[in-house]
Structure 1
Amino acid sequence: MAKETVLVISGNEEYVTGIESRLAFAFRDDVTLQIITDKNYLLEYLKTPHSISFCIVDEMLLSYVAEYFPESKRLLISEENGADRVSRYEGARAILQRIDAHLLKEEMAVRKKATHVVYVSSVGGGCGKTLMSLGLAARLAETGQRTLYINAESLQDFGYYLDDPAAMSGKMSVLLSADPGTAAEEILVSAGKQGFDYLPPSGHLLTSSEITLEKILDFVTSLVRRDDYDDIVVELPGNAGEDEIACMNSAEYLVLVSDQTEYSARRLSRLNENLRDFHGDGYIVCSKAEPEKENHLMEQDFSVRFPICECVEQKNEPLTLKDILEGEILKRTAQAVI
């Protein structure tokens, strides 16, 4: 079988660096990924014929290549989504969702249609991880996605943000501990409702009921197999231990919540060093942002792998779930992971 070629054309080298490894990982072994970032080289390249299966091109360079690639064989990189384009802020995930499945490895083609699991983590307490996780679930549900929120913290207090929080039943607690697969069947009956579904918070430490992170992840895997939800938002424990790092490394979508302080930026940099096996789509939500102060997240080398999706400004009053939905907060992040 002749090799096929996917051509990426963009003058934004930072963007290209951010998507290159993910695309290469997703394509079949007999698909060649070719990247052009220099306009002069592009002009020389176009002087000779090439067999290109699909072209992904920055809309600013479309005029140079439009005659060579019909609309059916090209995808534009733009500021926002559209019928013929993807947002540059959504990274490789957006491209893989739109590209012909026959170019992808079998497991990646199947994943396009499966339940999406979005993991949310942070590098320290007090940065708003729980509210951002709930807000992301609410935003996803707002777009019509069937969404479930799961909090994997052993000590759970997210009911504070909900209108009428349900409590985890004794039956669900037992099932999560002993039989996560059966718990996945029970969730449709016992889930709390807040515009999105949520696994009700436990009144006790999860660990005291022998509900470990491993069992929560088994529960998530069973839910994905059932395909009852379009999206599952899993808030990971704040401590970046060995199990949490392993989970993040294997994630398809990972959102890191952080404030803009130098301390948090340094911790994020250390976390990035431990995510060498991460090949998914990663984003940063800068919470409690103060525009008048220096944002140390902008200075770090992890921004290529984990671009700042948006900054949520610090307010005089504590932010609520209602505030998120009434404003523009987390719309861009939800768009990035759909």
Structure 2
Amino acid sequence: MRVVLAAMQREYTAKLADYLREEEPNWDIAAFTHESALRRELQGSGVIDLLIGQIDMLLEVASLSDRVGKIVALVEERDKNRGGKWQEVVQYQPLPAILSGIRGGLSGGNVLPDSSCQVVTLFSASGGVGKTTVALNLIRQAGERGVRTFYLNLEALNATSLLFGKGEPDSLSRLLYSLQAYPEKWGEMLKELCRHQPQLRTDYLDATDHPGERLALTSELMMTFIEGLKATGKYDLIVIDPDSGAGDWHCSLVQMSDRVIWLTADDAQLMLKTEKLLNHWHNKLGENMSKIIFALNKGNGSMVNRWNLPGGKPSATLPYIPQWKTVDQPGRLLGSPAYCGAVEQLLALLRIESSTVNTKRRREEGHGIQRSHIRGAC
């Protein structure tokens, strides 16, 4: 297949071209960094099966597009206002994610790197509801079913070092920098900074000491980061644990997740905040409302307050475990039979079942029995 790659940054173009040649040996790839040279190539003889290029360069040669089979545009961020003229792939992201997007453009399908990996976000309109506790129990029980998991805490004030220990506090910032400046090295950086927690059977990143790292995270960079995780092919389930908020960043996370477990409690103020936030996001969420599972955490028998949220009642109720208020070790958050039963109900709602994965293969290829240390490599 004859492929032409066009981007103005010489180093970026060379690295992407080398990667594509390595991963797709049957592609005959020619790379260009100047519009004039690209134009001469398109005017030459022979059909070009695939043109991959930055928007500015594609516009310069738009009159010659009839000589090209497929076109994939490299963009800084996707824009619905461009009308879908070309398949768009975000250019500054891990190289496997770029290639996955290009392949999606060839097939005319979705450019998401790996549709078999499910992204589940734990969300709440206010803090203190127990998102992290639910997330860790969800991950543990999914791991017991042979599901390969990644836990991504995106709280500005991340206290998971109490549970996992203090490691590399700059993990997130280093990965985000690599994602933008050296996307070809992102996979190596992820492998270096990723940790494994054997009790929870999950991979994760160390908690940051700097709230500014998360506060500086844009919606587009967040989506690129998550797509990069999916593109590794190492995970069946990514569980995201953000802080609470009503900003565009939070709404984008809800929109891009496959499923959202929206936690609330039997508390009048929290219920009212939840209603207000849902009303605020009503137009933005639209059909995404169908992916939200509303769950009551810290339940204690029948509710005192009226349930005014969608569904008429909680889809799941998780019990209150008062002993967990002082817990500083992961294993102590996992020992309640009642809570485990409620999490099983959540897993059923998410359709995460052991029958959906090959348990033995997942454990051998994913986290592996040989990993006996919390700080094991990814």
Code of the residue aligned with 1:267 in structure 2: it is K
**C-alpha deviation, 1:156, in angstroms:** 0.9
Matches within 5 A, 1:1-338: 107=110, 113-160=115-162, 162=163, 164-168=164-168, 170=170, 173-179=173-179, 181=183, 182-194=185-197, 195-207=201-213, 210-212=216-218, 214-273=220-279, 274-275=281-282, 276-279=285-288, 280-291=290-301, 293-296=303-306, 299-303=307-311, 308-318=314-324, 321-322=330-331, 324-326=333-335, 327=337, 328=340, 329-337=342-350, 338=352
Question: For 1:238 and 1:124, how far apart are their aligned partners in 2?
Answer: 5
Q: Separation in 2 of the partners of 1:111 and 1:331?
A: 28
Q: 1:278-297 CA deviation, whole Å, 9 max, x = no partner?
A: 4352212211112155143x
Structure 2: where are the runs of 5+ without partners? 1-107, 353-378
The question of whether the paired residues in 1 share the 8 Å contact of 2:170 and 2:209 is answered with: no
TM-score by length of 1: 0.58
Residue 251 of structure 1, CA deviation:
2.6
**How far does residue 233 in structure 1 lie from its aligned partner after superposition?**
0.5
Counterpart of 1:167, as a letter, is G
Please tell me whether the aligned partners of residues 155 and 241 of structure 2 are also in contact (alpha carbons under 8 angstroms): yes
TM-score normalised according to structure 2 size = 0.53
Tell me the distance in 1 between the aligned counterparts of 2:315 and 2:187: 31
140 and 250 in structure 1: CA distance in 2 versus 1, 3 angstrom threshold: same
TM-superposed deviation, 1:211: 4.3
The aligned counterpart of 1:97 is none
Shift of the 303–222 alpha-carbon distance from structure 1 to 2, 3 Å rule, reads same
Distance, in Å, in 1 between the alignment partners of 2:271 and 2:170 is 40
Deviation at 1:244, TM superposition (A): 0.8
CA distance in 2, matches of 1:212, 1:137: 26
Q: Check whether the contact 1:152–1:216 (CA below 8 A) recurs between aligned residues.
A: no
**Change in CA separation of 1:178 and 1:277 when aligned onto 2, cut-off 3 Å:** farther
SS at match of 1:336: helix
Separation in structure 2 between the aligned mates of residue 179 and residue 316 of structure 1, nearest angstrom: 41
Query: Larger radius of gyration, structure 1 or 2?
Result: 2
Distance 1:209 1:294, change over 3 A: closer
User: C-alpha separation between the residues in 2 aligned to 1:137 and 1:171?
Assistant: 21
- Give, in whole Å, the separation in 1 of the partners of 2:331 and 2:315: 21
1:132 touches 1:257 (CA, 8 Å); kept in 2?
no
Q: Secondary structure at the match of 1:311?
A: strand
Aligned-partner Cα distance in 1 for 2:145–2:120? 16
Three-state SS of the structure 2 residue aligned to 1:179 is helix
Task: Give the conservation status (yes or no) of the 8 Å contact 2:155–2:214.
Answer: no
